């Protein structure tokens, strides 16, 4: 997206290892002003890159290059301070030190959300004037991005297709890493209550890789009287993830803390009603297009899920709102705001 709107500036894409196949990707760019610089031997940007007007990074462990006139850093979150549970004292100390250094060195900080901006002020006393919020994008119109539905003027067809799939498949979906911060234990407790007291026919599908400190999560699963209706998918392909999103009755994302929360927008883009946390950035990103709950109270998760699966009018309204909400988060908008930062900093 940045290449499409800026043919004036020259960009050097710096990476410490070759994460992407740029031989295939770079020729697709509409502009010839992008160069890829791979730092195979970890020499650092000063020994690999030329003189720069601006150096931008989202890696807090990179020091300010001497060759750069201005230093811009994107901070995705400050989980290490806002939700330190699950991190060792050594990791917390190291990351905290790196963040303090880079927050002080940067001329401008970019935050993924207002919540992250507020956290930088709260935990590191960073001035608001030094932080610019730029939301990342989700390619709703690009079918290559997890097969997301393209924009459509006929939203009624989307609602109808989603409703038919949900009534046919009947499952509640969660997507994310298996770790304490995602509140999967609370979701399983809510699911147990939905089965026991409300007799719902739905299954619970949890898609995502194991992260860390997941033992208690699987213990909660093993102790569930309804474990046969709880399915851990583990790592899945983009195609399978697309199918799970499109056919879900409801997507539930009760995370305790998120710097942004891409799965919320992905679910919106597929036309799936969403239940998510009112805390951290989740409520900010979802707006009024989802049912918001206190993640500490799994009874609220129960009530929100029940509302959606039992009220077709509410469900349809959330699908429409969610689809429209997702279309606000485009990489084109992100690139325009980012370019403004580069030219006006």
Q: Tokens representing 286?
A: 């979802």
pLDDT at 191 (0 to 100): 99
pLDDT band at 294 (very low <50, low <70, confident <90, very high): very high
* CA dist., res. 338 & res. 345, Å (int): 10
pLDDT at 65 (0 to 100): 87
Block residue for tokens 């919106």:
268
The arrangement of strands across the sheet holding 108-111 comes to: 52-57, 68-75, 108-111, 131-133
* CA dist., res. 236 & res. 13, Å (int): 29
Three-state SS letters, the chain? CHHHHCCCCCEEEEECCCCCCHHHHHHHCCCCCEEEEECCCCCCHHHHCCCEEEEEECCCCCCCCCCEEEEEEEECCCHHHHCCCCCCHHHHHHHHHHHHHHHHHCCEEEECCHHHHHHHHHHHCCCHHHEEECCCCCCCCCCCCCCCCCCCCCHHHHHHHHHHHHHHHCEEEEECCECHHHCHHHHHHHHHHHHHHHCCCCEEEEECCECCCCHHHHHHHHCCCCHHHEEEEECCCHHHHHHHHHHCCEEEECCCCCCCCHHHHHHHHHCCCEEEECCCCHHHHHHHHCEEECCCCHHHHHHHHHHHHHCHHHHHHHHHHHHHHHCCCCHHHHHHHHHHHHHHC
pLDDT at 283 (0 to 100): 97
> In sequence order, what are the beta bridge partners of 75?
111
Q: Is 252 exposed, middle or buried (0-12, 13-18, 19+ CB in 10 A)?
A: buried
* Spatial contact of 276 and 255, defined as CB atoms under 8 Å apart: yes
* CA dist., res. 225 & res. 227, Å (int): 6
Q: What pTM does this model have?
A: 0.87
Query: Mean pLDDT, the chain, as a whole number?
Result: 87
> Is residue 26 pLDDT above 50, yes or no?
no
* Spatial contact of 269 and 140, defined as CB atoms under 8 Å apart: yes
Supply the angle between the helices 298-310 and 312-326 in degrees, to the nearest 10. Answer: 100
* CA dist., res. 264 & res. 284, Å (int): 11
* Spatial contact of 255 and 182, defined as CB atoms under 8 Å apart: yes
pLDDT at 165 (0 to 100): 63
pLDDT at 143 (0 to 100): 41
Tens digits of residue pLDDT in 4-22 = 888 888 888 777 665 555 4
* Spatial contact of 175 and 251, defined as CB atoms under 8 Å apart: yes
Tens digits of residue pLDDT in 50-92 = 788 999 999 888 888 888 899 999 999 999 999 998 888 999 9
pLDDT at 220 (0 to 100): 98
Tens digits of residue pLDDT in 115-147 = 999 999 999 999 999 999 999 998 754 443 444
Residue with more model confidence, 207 or 163: 207
Q: What is the mean pLDDT of residues 216-230?
A: 98
CB atoms within 10 A of CB 185: 18
Percent pLDDT > 70 in the chain is 82
pLDDT at 231 (0 to 100): 98
Domains and CATH numbers, the chain: 2-137+330-344 (3.40.50), 155-326 (3.40.50.2000)
pLDDT at 141 (0 to 100): 47
Angle at CA 219, nearest 5°, toward 213 and 223? 165
* Spatial contact of 16 and 36, defined as CB atoms under 8 Å apart: no
> Is residue 166 pLDDT above 90, yes or no?
no
Q: How far is CA 10 from the centre of its chain?
A: 29
């Amino acid at each position: 997206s940045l290449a499409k709107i800026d043919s004036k500036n020259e960009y050097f894409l710096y990476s410490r290892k070759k994460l992407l196949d740029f031989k295939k990707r770079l020729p697709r760019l509409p502009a010839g002003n992008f160069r890829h610089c791979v730092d195979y031997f970890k020499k650092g940007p000063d020994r690999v890159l030329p003189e720069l007007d601006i150096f931008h990074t989202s890696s807090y462990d990179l020091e300010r290059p001497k060759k750069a006139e201005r230093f811009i850093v994107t901070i995705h979150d400050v989980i290490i301070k806002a939700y330190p549970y699950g991190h060792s004292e050594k990791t917390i100390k190291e990351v905290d030190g790196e963040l303090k250094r880079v927050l002080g060195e940067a001329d401008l900080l970019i935050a993924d959300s207002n919540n992250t901006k507020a956290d930088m002020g709260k935990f590191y006393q960073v001035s608001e004037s030094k932080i610019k919020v730029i939301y990342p994008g989700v390619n709703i119109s690009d079918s290559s991005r997890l097969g997301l539905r393209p924009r459509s003027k006929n939203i009624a067809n989307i609602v109808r297709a989603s409703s038919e799939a949900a009534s046919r498949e009947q499952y509640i979906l969660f997507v994310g890493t298996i770790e304490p911060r995602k509140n999967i234990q609370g979701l399983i407790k809510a699911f147990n209550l939905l089965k026991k007291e409300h007799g719902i026919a739905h299954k619970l599908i949890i898609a995502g890789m194991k992260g860390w400190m997941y033992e208690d999560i699987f213990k909660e699963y093993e102790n569930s009287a309804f474990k046969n209706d709880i399915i851990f998918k583990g790592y899945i392909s983009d195609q399978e993830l697309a199918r799970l999103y499109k056919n879900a009755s409801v997507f539930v994302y009760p995370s305790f803390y998120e710097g942004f929360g891409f799965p919320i927008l992905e679910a919106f883009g597929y036309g799936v009603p969403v239940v998510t946390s009112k805390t951290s950035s989740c409520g900010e990103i979802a707006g009024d297009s989802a049912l918001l709950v206190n993640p500490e109270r799994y009874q609220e998760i129960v009530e929100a899920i029940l509302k959606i699966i039992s009220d077709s009018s509410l469900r349809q309204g959330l699908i429409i709102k969610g689809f429209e909400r997702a279309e606000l988060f485009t990489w084109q908008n992100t690139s325009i705001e980012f370019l403004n930062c580069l030219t006006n900093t």
